[in-house]
Chains A and B, each alone.
Chain A
Amino acid sequence: MSMTLNVNGTRRDFYGDPDTPLLWVIREQLGLTGTKYGCGIAQCGACTIHVDGVPLRSCSAPVAAMTGRAITTIEGLASRVAKAVQKAWVDLDVVQCGYCQSGQIMSAVALLEKKPKATDEDIDHALAGNICRCATYQRIRAAIHLAAKRLASKEGA
């Protein structure tokens, strides 16, 4: 099967099995390795991307379902919210090994895009599916709050 994908605003061609999980298309055929493989069974969240602005676990979706949809990976984040989230992550030294962080950031960005005033409970529910073996959870939470605060103030990010 061949199809055209819209990835980070660019048209990319895909040839192969329509049932291929989107994760492997992104990582190996398109060479975008920022999205990670952690479990392949939708349990860890390391593969989280955005499709039409909504988080999707790319290990759990066939590439064939992506016709006409806009895919955004960690490499393609460019919105004001995304920049604020990434800056807060850096400013608070959130990362340790970093393997989960692409997914964490994708979920955090999606949360703040829809809920600029996310509460602790909102963060709990939105990021519950992104697990971190290094246990950077406290700093993730702090960084989301920091990004939200900066976005809300006049100075923005």
Chain B
Amino acid sequence: MSVAQAWLVVIVLTGVGASLAGANDLRSPESFSSIGDQADRSRSLFVEAGRVLQHPRCLNCHPAGDRPSQGEDQHPHTPLVVRGLDDKGATALRCVTCHQAANFTPSGVPGHPLWQMAPREMAWQGKSLPQICEQIKDPRRNGGKTLTQIHEHLAHDTLVGWAWAPGGSREPAPGTQAQLGALTAAWIETGAACPTR
């Protein structure tokens, strides 16, 4: 095979790979390079990341009220559970009463060592993506994090990572945590602009 033929194979394979990539993959930061304006590019990167942030796997534990939701359709969690004083459940019905350190196939209950609800100030349900974006950037509402720490959280936190290995018949969040991390890094590099709608 000549070099040209080899490159053709590579290009074709890449193209095939790209089309085989399902709707469930996240776009790479590079695929936004065609957007000339940096702020626009930044906003678009966040919109792509928003496919994860607004997925049921994440939204279910980021409710506005005291009760988490459950399932693809985000129905109220059964049994009735509340965040309690520390976001880890009511007295005598803690998150860990049912949710163990790992997904447990025999009961179908998902798990992670740090299972809990996001604090109230990190509520995402009922919020638009622009609002979620502002919230994530606001140290008063994001647990005092810098943008670098936000990236670290999204790219490496294992509870966040659960969204891609939820077990059972739960649909994982789109793409992979690494892809989300890359998008977040690129978003920060391009000025961390928030979408306007």
Question: Which stretch from A7-15, A60-68, A93-101 is at the chain B interface?
Answer: A60-68
A76 interfacial contact with B, CB 8 Å:
no
Are A57 and B98 CB-contacts (below 8 A) given A40-B106, A129-B80?
Answer: yes
Q: Which residue from chain A places its CB closest to the CB of B106 in the assembled complex?
A: A21
**B85 smallest CB distance to A (angstroms):** 11
B101 interfacial contact with A, CB 8 Å:
yes
Collect the chain A residues with CB atoms within 8 Å of residue B109's CB: 41-42, 60
Are A111 and B92 CB-contacts (below 8 A) given A61-B100, A65-B100, A129-B81?
Answer: yes
Collect the chain B residues with CB atoms within 8 Å of residue A45's CB: 79
Chain A 1-38: CB-based contact to B (< 8 A → 1; otherwise 0): 00000000000000000010100000000000000000
B196 interfacial contact with A, CB 8 Å:
no
Collect the chain B residues with CB atoms within 8 Å of residue A122's CB: 90-91
A127 touches B101 (CB 8 A): no
A59 interfacial contact with B, CB 8 Å:
yes
A55 touches B97 (CB 8 A): yes
Interface size on A, residues (CB 8 A): 31
B165 interfacial contact with A, CB 8 Å:
no
A62 touches B91 (CB 8 A): no
Collect the chain A residues with CB atoms within 8 Å of residue B106's CB: 19, 21, 40, 59-60, 62
**B81 smallest CB distance to A (angstroms):** 7
Chain B 71-98: CB-based contact to A (< 8 A → 1; otherwise 0): 0000000111110100000111110111
Q: Which residue from chain B places its CB closest to the CB of A59 in the assembled complex?
A: B107
Collect the chain B residues with CB atoms within 8 Å of residue A111's CB: 91-92
B80 touches A128 (CB 8 A): yes
B108 interfacial contact with A, CB 8 Å:
yes
A126-140, CB < 8 A from B: 126-129, 131
Chain A 90-115: CB-based contact to B (< 8 A → 1; otherwise 0): 00000000000000000110110011
B7 interfacial contact with A, CB 8 Å:
no
Collect the chain A residues with CB atoms within 8 Å of residue B97's CB: 48, 54-57, 129
**A25 smallest CB distance to B (angstroms):** 12
Collect the chain A residues with CB atoms within 8 Å of residue B92's CB: 55, 107-108, 110-111, 114-115, 126-127
A154 interfacial contact with B, CB 8 Å:
no
Q: Which residue from chain A places its CB closest to the CB of B94 in the assembled complex?
A: A54
B41-86, CB < 8 A from A: 78-82, 84
Are A125 and B90 CB-contacts (below 8 A) given A43-B79, A60-B98?
Answer: yes
Q: Which residue from chain B places its CB closest to the CB of A39 in the assembled complex?
A: B107
**A92 smallest CB distance to B (angstroms):** 20
In Å, the complex CA distance between A21 and B79 comes to 20
- Interface contacts beyond A41-B108, A62-B106, A118-B91: sample of 14 additional A-B pairs, CB < 8 Å, sorted by A: A19-B105, A21-B104, A41-B107, A42-B79, A43-B78, A45-B79, A54-B94, A55-B93, A57-B98, A60-B99, A111-B92, A114-B92, A122-B90, A126-B91
Residues of chain B whose beta carbon lies under 8 Å from any beta carbon of chain A: 78-82, 84, 90-94, 96-101, 104-109
> Can you report 5 A-B residue pairs in the complex whose CB atoms are below 8 A from each other?
A42-B98, A48-B97, A125-B91, A128-B93, A129-B93
